[in-house]
Structure 1
C-alpha cells in the first residue's frame, strides 16, 4: 500500500463558526483570524494505492463555481486537486474509486467538473466508482434549510446521472484495507475511513475533527447539525485512537496533517502532531 497526501488549496471560514462556543481568546492562539475574523483552512485529501485500486478520499472544493462564490471563501494556495494528483505521479484517469466522506461543497466540489466547452457537468474521474451512502445521499438531495447552502446540486446530481455513484451499506466496506465509522453529529451519516496500513490504523477524521485544534471535546463547529452527538462521537473515536494507537489525519488543519493522542489528567489530548510521514 502507498499513501499520498493530496493538497487542494486553502479556503477561509469564520473563526467563530469553526470553534463554536470556544472564546476567540483561546482559539485565536492556534489559528489567528484576519481583519474579517476569517481563518485559513486546508482541504487535504488522501490518495491510496492498494493492489489494483487507486482510491481518492474526498475532492476539495473544485473550481467550477463563479467568482462570487469563491469570493465568500477566498480560495488560495498553489495546489489544486488534479495538479496534486499528477505531482504524486498519477493520472486522473487512473483513479478507480472516490470515497466521499460527506457531500458538503468543500469535500465533494472537485468530484464534478465542466466539459472543456463549459456546456456539461460530469464526474472528474471518468473511470472511478464514487462511494457515498443512501442515508446521507437522501439528506443531501433534500436538505434542511440550515444545511442547504452546503449541498450544491451541481456537485452531486451529476454523479448519480452518470451511473458512477454507489452506496456503502453501514457496517460494510467494498475495500479490503478500509473500514468506516459512521457518525451523525456534523451531518447525517458522515463516513470516516479507517485505513489499515501495515500494523497501523489511520482515521481520516473529515469534519468530526476538522483540525488538531478540535481534539478537546467542547471544541466543535457551529456548522454541526447535532452538537451534543458530535461530542459523544468524539469521545468514542478518541478512545479508539488511544486504545488502538490510531493516527488521526486532519482534512482542514492548516498546519498539521496528522497526530497521535494520549490520555491525560485533562482528558485525551494531542501527544504529537506533524506530517503524516512522521507517523508511517
Structure 2
C-alpha cells in the first residue's frame, strides 16, 4: 500500500464558528483571523494505492458553483485536485473508488462536474462510497445543516448508478455499540472496507454517521480525521466547532479516541489544518495535545 497527500486548495471560514465556545483571544494565536474574522483552512485529501485500486478520500469543494457561492469562502492558493493528481502521475479517470467521509460541500463538492447543462460524476470509472444512514441524513437534511448539503453535489452520484453503501458493515458495527448517558461509547469500526488494511470508523458528533478511514501503513495506524479533528488546534477537548450537530457527542468521541490513539501511537492526518498534515498525540499537564508534526511523505 502507498498513500499520498492530495491538496485541493484553501478556503476561509469564520473563526468563531470553527472554534465554538473558545474565545477569539485564545484561538486567534494559532489560527489568526483576517479583518472579517475569517481563518484559512486547507482542503487536504488522501490518495490510497493498494489491492489494485486507487482510492480517493474526499475531494474538496469542486468548481461548479457560481461566483456568489465561492465569494463566501474565498478560495485561494495554487493547488487543485487535478493538479495534485497530475503531480503524482494520475488522472481523475484513474480513480477506482471515491470514499466520502461525509457529504458537506467542502468534502464532496469535487465529486460532480458540469458538462454543459448536465451534472455528471467527475470520476467516471469510480465507485462512490457512503453509508445509508449518512445518505439519508444528507438527503433529508435538518434546517440547521441543510446549507452544507448541496443537492447538486449529492443526488447526481446516485443518479449515475455509481453509488455504493457500506451499510451492512456499518449496521453490524453499530449493533455492538452501547449508548452510555446518551452518548456513543467508543467508535464503531468497519474492518477491511474496499481493500485489506483499510477500515472505517463511524462517529456522530459533527454529523450523523461520518466515516473516518483508518489504515495500517508502514507498521503504524493512520487515521484520516475529517471533521472530528479538523486541525491540530482542535485537539483540546473544549475546542469543538459550532458547526457540529451534537457537540457533546463530539466531546465524548474525542475523549474515547484520544485514549486509544495515545496507547497505539496513532498518526493523525488532518484534512483542514492549513499548515500541519500529520501529528501524534501526547499527554501534557494541560491534557492531551498535539505532539510531533510532520508531512505524510516523511512517515
Q: TM-score, normalised by structure 2?
A: 0.91
| Cα distance in 2 for residues equivalent to 1:235 and 1:181 | 15
Residue 136 (structure 2) aligned to one of 118, 138, 149: 138
Q: Which residue does the alignment assign to 2:278? A: 258
Matched, 1:79 2:79: yes
Q: SS at the partner of 1:73?
A: coil
Given that 2:50 and 2:195 are in contact with CA atoms closer than 8 Å, whether structure 1 keeps it comes out as no
Q: Which residue does the alignment assign to 2:148? A: 150
Q: Which residue does the alignment assign to 2:162? A: 164
Q: Which residue does the alignment assign to 1:268? A: 288
Residue 120 (structure 2) aligned to one of 103, 122, 145: 122
Q: SS at the partner of 2:26?
A: helix
Q: Which residue does the alignment assign to 2:180? A: none
Measured after TM superposition, the shift of residue 174 of structure 1 is 2.7
Q: Which residue does the alignment assign to 2:222? A: 202
Deviation sequence 1:28-81 (CA, Å, 0-9, x none): 000100000000000000001113000000010000000000000001111111
Measured after TM superposition, the shift of residue 275 of structure 1 is 1.5
| Cα distance in 2 for residues equivalent to 1:131 and 1:87 | 25
Which structure 1 segments of 5+ residues have no match? none
Which structure 2 segments of 5+ residues have no match? 174-189
Given that 1:64 and 1:113 are in contact with CA atoms closer than 8 Å, whether structure 2 keeps it comes out as yes
Given that 1:168 and 1:174 are in contact with CA atoms closer than 8 Å, whether structure 2 keeps it comes out as no
Given that 1:5 and 1:44 are in contact with CA atoms closer than 8 Å, whether structure 2 keeps it comes out as yes
| Cα distance in 2 for residues equivalent to 1:262 and 1:31 | 21
| Cα distance in 1 for residues equivalent to 2:25 and 2:294 | 24
Q: Which residue does the alignment assign to 2:63? A: 63
Q: More displaced, 241-250 or 257-266?
A: 257-266
Q: Which residue does the alignment assign to 1:179? A: 199
Matched, 1:212 2:210: no
| Cα distance in 2 for residues equivalent to 1:50 and 1:175 | 7
Residue 250 (structure 2) aligned to one of 219, 227, 230: 230
Measured after TM superposition, the shift of residue 239 of structure 1 is 1.4
Deviation sequence 1:79-117 (CA, Å, 0-9, x none): 1111111111111111000100000000000011011xx
| Cα distance in 1 for residues equivalent to 2:213 and 2:260 | 14
Q: SS at the partner of 2:72?
A: helix
Given that 1:112 and 1:155 are in contact with CA atoms closer than 8 Å, whether structure 2 keeps it comes out as yes
| Cα distance in 2 for residues equivalent to 1:13 and 1:274 | 24
Measured after TM superposition, the shift of residue 237 of structure 1 is 1.4
Q: More displaced, 125-134 or 170-179?
A: 170-179
| Cα distance in 2 for residues equivalent to 1:177 and 1:95 | 18
Aligned length: 277
| Cα distance in 1 for residues equivalent to 2:197 and 2:54 | 12
Measured after TM superposition, the shift of residue 219 of structure 1 is 0.4
Measured after TM superposition, the shift of residue 252 of structure 1 is 0.2
Q: SS at the partner of 2:236?
A: coil
Given that 2:267 and 2:280 are in contact with CA atoms closer than 8 Å, whether structure 1 keeps it comes out as yes
Measured on the aligned residues, the alpha-carbon RMSD in Å equals: 0.9
Given that 1:256 and 1:275 are in contact with CA atoms closer than 8 Å, whether structure 2 keeps it comes out as yes
